[in-house]
């Protein structure tokens, strides 16, 4: 049985958590393959809202097993908080949540290094979530990191001390004032490690490949989005992991020929949180309206998200890199009431018209060229079938499908699990 992938195609926050939750009833296993607590995946059902950071979004379904893969970085402190939030739901966590021994650990000093690096960059800062993501992946690729499996070794505390000592030296190297109380941070960290150690640590690549052999159905859940990918995103304003389809292979130990469908999630407009280029960003009442109606505030940091028109040049690029086979368009309801909608169909780049996503996008070298489409007035949030969707929305959908050459199979019309329309 093939593994299906679900990925964000923009700058994150496309609505991945919602769609994983909607699809989980079709799967035996949901597996996160990269990122860490920089992610915030929102699920809304039965009148409750849940935000997950490291735990896969299939956790609320009775039968699904949730795997945190080797490509993920785990902050035990945030992980413990997530588990504490789940306590009231009486889930059988030990049976439903498995952790890869090869996943790397975020230490308190990784967070401090993230803060120091951002402060030192000043105006050029990435706008990181300050969760220690960059420094942890640096230690991973620099072959200095600590892994979940290390916690089963007798000398893990010595290894922790040695790495922390090194980090403290590195912190001193940054010429910035970061206040911290290491004792306090460590008390919280060691307490959280005790909680983490109660969960099953597994060789997740073995587990998943056996599951494939046994014909189990697996959905790999991406975090962030393709435009934040370490290679293909708007570097250096990106995250530190492979957010694209290839990341599912390395982040779970699954071979490329085991991948089946690739579900690409995008918003009907575009948002970005943090710094970096954003060609279709709006600074007018249209952008303000998207932010207000769409409640565009980060699920992890609470920061306001920047908003703009849909960028089809960027979307097509993401579709190609990931090999997307089906699209899911989110937040269509937020666009109700705009008389006209714009979609970016090419860029003016260094004086030339181009249709591809160029090497370096800066606000002064890329100007979006738009096609204008009709808007719709109808409230979509109570609609349940594709044929009731307004004609102008159907034309908007057709325009996108023709441009990116992949069908839109799901149209999301509200944040709730039920506000999801399937198109055949
Ligand atoms: P993720 O990181 O990709 O899982 O997305 P987030 O959870 O960070 O952000 C998506 C936000 O949009 C959340 O607040 C969701 O509840 C909300 N949302 C998802 N789909 C829809 C939709 O179709 N319409 C509206 N209005 N909100 C949605
Ligand atoms: P989900 O999974 C949106 C952004 C940050 C910053 C950049 C680098 O919820 O879609 P990092 O902390 O990774 O070093 O930050 O990436 N970023 C996200 N933006 N959604 C996310 O995750 C993000 N994770 C990181 O804002 O610009
Ligand atoms: Mg999010």
Ligand 1 atom closest to the Cα of residue 300 is 8
Which pLDDT value is given to residue 201?
Answer: 98
Active site residue 364: no
Residue list, CB under 5 A from ion ligand 3: 13, 40, 299
Which pLDDT value is given to residue 210?
Answer: 98
**CA–CA separation, 237 and 32 (whole Å):** 22
Which pLDDT value is given to residue 175?
Answer: 86
What is the model's pTM? 0.97
8 Å CB contact between 278 and 287: no
pLDDT tens column, 111-156: 999 999 999 999 999 999 999 999 999 999 999 999 999 999 999 9
Task: Say if residue 298's pLDDT is above 90.
Answer: no
pLDDT tens column, 407-423: 999 999 999 999 999 99
Task: Say if residue 301's pLDDT is above 90.
Answer: no
Return the residue whose CA atom lies nearest to atom 12 of ligand 1.
Answer: 15
Q: Average model confidence (pLDDT) for the chain?
A: 96
Which of these is catalytic: 41, 50, 53, 61? 41
Q: Which ligand is nearest to the CA of 12?
A: 2
Contacts of 354 (CB under 8 A, 6+ apart): 313, 346, 347, 348
Whole-number Å distance, alpha carbon 166 to ligand 3 midpoint, is: 32
Nearest partner of 12 among 89, 107, 127, 160, judged by Cα:
127
* Residues flanking ligand 2, CB < 6 Å: 8, 11-13, 35, 38-41, 126-129, 131, 133-134, 223-225, 228, 239-240, 273-274, 299
Whole-number Å distance, alpha carbon 236 to ligand 2 midpoint, is: 13
Whole-number Å distance, alpha carbon 135 to ligand 2 midpoint, is: 14
Return the residue whose CA atom lies nearest to atom 20 of ligand 2.
Answer: 12
Which pLDDT value is given to residue 350?
Answer: 87
Ligand 1 atom closest to the Cα of residue 43 is 16
Which residue, chain included where needed, has tokens 């390395």? Answer: 250
Which pLDDT value is given to residue 134?
Answer: 98
Ligand 1 atom closest to the Cα of residue 299 is 8
Ligand 2 atom closest to the Cα of residue 301 is 26
Of the listed ranges 149-163, 298-312, 371-385, the least confidently predicted one is 298-312
Alpha-carbon distances of 225 from 7, 39, 80, 166, 271, rounded to whole Å: 7, 10, 25, 32, 11
Active site residue 231: no
Task: Say if residue 20's pLDDT is above 80.
Answer: yes
CA Rg value for the chain: 21
Whole-number Å distance, alpha carbon 365 to ligand 3 midpoint, is: 29
Which pLDDT value is given to residue 259?
Answer: 98
**Residue among 335, 415, 421, 422 to mutate when testing ligand 1 (max atoms within 8 A of CB):** 415
Task: Say if residue 300's pLDDT is above 90.
Answer: no
Alpha-carbon distances of 150 from 78, 98, 327, 372, rounded to whole Å: 19, 16, 39, 56
């Amino acid at each position: 049985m093939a593994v299906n992938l679900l990925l964000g195609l923009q700058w994150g926050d496309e609505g991945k958590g919602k769609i994983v939750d909607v699809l989980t009833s079709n799967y035996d296993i949901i597996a996160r393959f990269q990122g860490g607590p920089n992610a915030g995946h929102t699920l809304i059902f039965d009148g409750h809202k849940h935000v997950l950071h490291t735990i896969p979004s299939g956790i609320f379904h009775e039968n699904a097993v949730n795997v945190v893969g080797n490509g993920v970085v785990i902050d035990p402190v945030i992980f413990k908080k997530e588990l504490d939030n789940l306590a009231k739901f009486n889930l059988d966590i030990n049976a439903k949540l498995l952790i890869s021994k090869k996943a790397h650990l975020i230490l308190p000093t990784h967070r401090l290094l993230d803060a120091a690096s951002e402060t030192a960059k000043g105006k050029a800062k990435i706008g990181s979530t300050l969760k220690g993501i960059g420094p942890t992946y640096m230690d991973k690729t620099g072959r200095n990191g600590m892994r979940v499996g290390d916690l089963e070794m007798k000398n893990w505390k010595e290894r922790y001390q040695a790495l922390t000592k090194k980090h403290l030296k590195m912190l001193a190297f940054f010429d910035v004032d970061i206040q911290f109380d290491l004792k306090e941070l460590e008390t919280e960290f060691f307490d959280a490690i005790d909680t983490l150690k109660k969960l099953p640590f597994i060789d997740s690549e073995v587990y998943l490949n056996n599951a494939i052999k046994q014909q189990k159905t697996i959905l790999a859940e991406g975090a962030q989005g393709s435009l934040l990918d370490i290679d293909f995103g708007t570097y250096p304003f990106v995250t530190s992991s492979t957010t694209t389809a290839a990341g599912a292979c390395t982040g779970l130990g699954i071979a490329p020929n085991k991948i089946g469908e690739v579900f690409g999630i995008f918003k009907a407009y575009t948002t970005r949180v943090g710094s970096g280029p954003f060609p279709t960003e709006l600074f007018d009442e249209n952008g303000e309206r998207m932010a207000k109606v769409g409640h565009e505030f980060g699920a992890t940091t609470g920061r306001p998200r920047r908003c703009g028109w849909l960028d089809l040049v960027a979307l097509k690029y993401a579709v190609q890199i990931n090999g997307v086979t089906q699209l899911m368009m989110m937040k269509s309801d937020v666009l109700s009431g705009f008389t006209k909608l714009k979609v970016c169909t090419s860029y003016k780049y260094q004086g030339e018209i181009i249709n591809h996503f160029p090497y370096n996008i800066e606000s002064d070298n890329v100007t979006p060229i738009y096609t204008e489409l009709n808007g719709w007035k109808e409230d979509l949030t109570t609609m349940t079938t594709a044929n009731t969707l307004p004609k102008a929305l159907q034309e908007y959908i057709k325009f996108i499908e023709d441009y990116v050459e992949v069908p839109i199979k799901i149209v999301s019309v509200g944040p709730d699990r039920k506000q999801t329309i399937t198109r055949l």
